[in-house]
Amino acid sequence: MEWCENLPKKRKSRGRGKGQKGREPRVQCDSCGAWVPRSKAKRITTYASPVDPQLAKELEKKGTAIAKYPVTKTYCISCAIYRGLVKVRAEEERKIVKPKKT
Protein backbone atom coordinates (compact mmCIF):
# COMPACT_ATOMS: atom_id res chain seq x y z
CA MET A 1 0.00 0.00 0.00
CA GLU A 2 2.60 2.52 -1.06
CA TRP A 3 0.27 4.91 -2.80
CA CYS A 4 -1.75 5.85 0.26
CA GLU A 5 1.10 6.77 2.59
CA ASN A 6 1.60 10.40 1.62
CA LEU A 7 -1.82 11.53 0.54
CA PRO A 8 -2.39 15.21 1.10
CA LYS A 9 -4.32 16.06 4.23
CA LYS A 10 -6.03 19.42 4.32
CA ARG A 11 -6.55 19.50 8.08
CA LYS A 12 -4.99 17.53 10.93
CA SER A 13 -8.43 16.61 12.27
CA ARG A 14 -10.02 16.39 8.80
CA GLY A 15 -12.47 19.04 9.95
CA ARG A 16 -13.90 16.99 12.80
CA GLY A 17 -13.41 16.57 16.52
CA LYS A 18 -14.26 12.94 17.02
CA GLY A 19 -10.73 11.60 17.61
CA GLN A 20 -10.54 7.81 17.75
CA LYS A 21 -14.30 7.41 18.05
CA GLY A 22 -15.65 5.45 15.14
CA ARG A 23 -19.09 6.83 14.41
CA GLU A 24 -21.23 9.48 15.95
CA PRO A 25 -24.80 10.68 15.58
CA ARG A 26 -25.71 12.99 12.75
CA VAL A 27 -27.42 16.33 13.15
CA GLN A 28 -29.38 18.33 10.64
CA CYS A 29 -28.31 21.78 9.46
CA ASP A 30 -30.90 24.40 10.41
CA SER A 31 -30.28 26.33 7.21
CA CYS A 32 -30.04 23.86 4.31
CA GLY A 33 -31.16 20.64 5.98
CA ALA A 34 -28.01 18.63 5.30
CA TRP A 35 -27.16 15.80 7.69
CA VAL A 36 -23.69 16.27 9.13
CA PRO A 37 -21.70 14.47 11.86
CA ARG A 38 -22.19 16.10 15.27
CA SER A 39 -18.53 17.00 15.76
CA LYS A 40 -18.36 18.65 12.35
CA ALA A 41 -21.42 20.84 12.79
CA LYS A 42 -21.24 24.34 14.27
CA ARG A 43 -23.63 25.20 17.09
CA ILE A 44 -24.29 28.86 17.67
CA THR A 45 -26.41 30.33 20.44
CA THR A 46 -27.89 33.76 19.95
CA TYR A 47 -30.25 35.69 22.21
CA ALA A 48 -33.53 36.66 20.69
CA SER A 49 -36.15 38.97 22.12
CA PRO A 50 -39.87 38.79 21.36
CA VAL A 51 -39.99 42.61 21.33
CA ASP A 52 -39.23 44.65 18.20
CA PRO A 53 -35.53 45.72 18.41
CA GLN A 54 -36.24 49.43 17.99
CA LEU A 55 -38.88 49.33 20.69
CA ALA A 56 -36.62 47.26 22.92
CA LYS A 57 -33.89 49.91 22.68
CA GLU A 58 -36.28 52.59 23.84
CA LEU A 59 -37.66 50.50 26.65
CA GLU A 60 -34.15 49.65 27.84
CA LYS A 61 -33.33 53.37 28.00
CA LYS A 62 -36.22 53.77 30.40
CA GLY A 63 -34.87 50.94 32.49
CA THR A 64 -37.32 48.18 31.63
CA ALA A 65 -35.99 44.66 31.79
CA ILE A 66 -36.76 42.73 28.61
CA ALA A 67 -36.69 38.95 28.62
CA LYS A 68 -34.30 37.37 26.12
CA TYR A 69 -34.29 33.71 25.38
CA PRO A 70 -31.45 31.68 23.90
CA VAL A 71 -31.87 30.23 20.42
CA THR A 72 -29.38 27.49 19.53
CA LYS A 73 -28.90 26.70 15.89
CA THR A 74 -26.84 24.03 14.18
CA TYR A 75 -25.12 24.75 10.88
CA CYS A 76 -23.16 22.65 8.44
CA ILE A 77 -19.74 23.93 7.41
CA SER A 78 -20.80 25.51 4.12
CA CYS A 79 -23.65 27.40 5.81
CA ALA A 80 -21.36 28.47 8.69
CA ILE A 81 -18.87 29.91 6.21
CA TYR A 82 -21.62 31.60 4.23
CA ARG A 83 -22.85 33.29 7.43
CA GLY A 84 -19.34 34.29 8.52
CA LEU A 85 -19.44 32.14 11.67
CA VAL A 86 -16.19 30.43 10.67
CA LYS A 87 -13.64 31.63 8.18
CA VAL A 88 -11.47 29.98 5.60
CA ARG A 89 -7.94 29.89 7.00
CA ALA A 90 -4.55 29.94 5.30
CA GLU A 91 -2.83 26.62 4.59
CA GLU A 92 -0.44 26.73 7.55
CA GLU A 93 -3.01 28.20 9.90
CA ARG A 94 -5.35 25.29 9.20
CA LYS A 95 -3.05 22.84 10.98
CA ILE A 96 -3.69 24.59 14.30
CA VAL A 97 -6.52 22.81 16.06
CA LYS A 98 -8.91 25.20 17.72
CA PRO A 99 -10.50 23.86 20.90
CA LYS A 100 -14.20 23.18 20.43
CA LYS A 101 -16.53 25.35 22.44
CA THR A 102 -19.05 23.50 24.56
Query: Which residues contribute to the site for Zn ion (CB under 5 A)?
Result: 29, 31-32, 34, 76, 79
Q: What is the smallest separation between the CB atom of 11 and Zn ion, expressed in angstroms?
A: 19
Q: What is the smallest separation between the CB atom of 83 and Zn ion, expressed in angstroms?
A: 9
Cβ proximity of 68 and 47 under 8 Å: yes
Q: Which is nearer to Zn ion, 27 or 29 (CB)?
A: 29
Q: What is the smallest separation between the CB atom of 36 and Zn ion, expressed in angstroms?
A: 8
- Please enumerate in sequence order all residues whose Cβ is within 8 A of that of 12, keeping only pairs 6 or more positions apart, or say none: 95, 97
Cβ proximity of 78 and 86 under 8 Å: no
| 57, amino acid identity | K
Q: Which is nearer to Zn ion, 61 or 87 (CB)?
A: 87
Q: Which is nearer to Zn ion, 6 or 45 (CB)?
A: 45
Looking at residue 17, what DSSP letter applies? Answer: -
| 24, amino acid identity | E
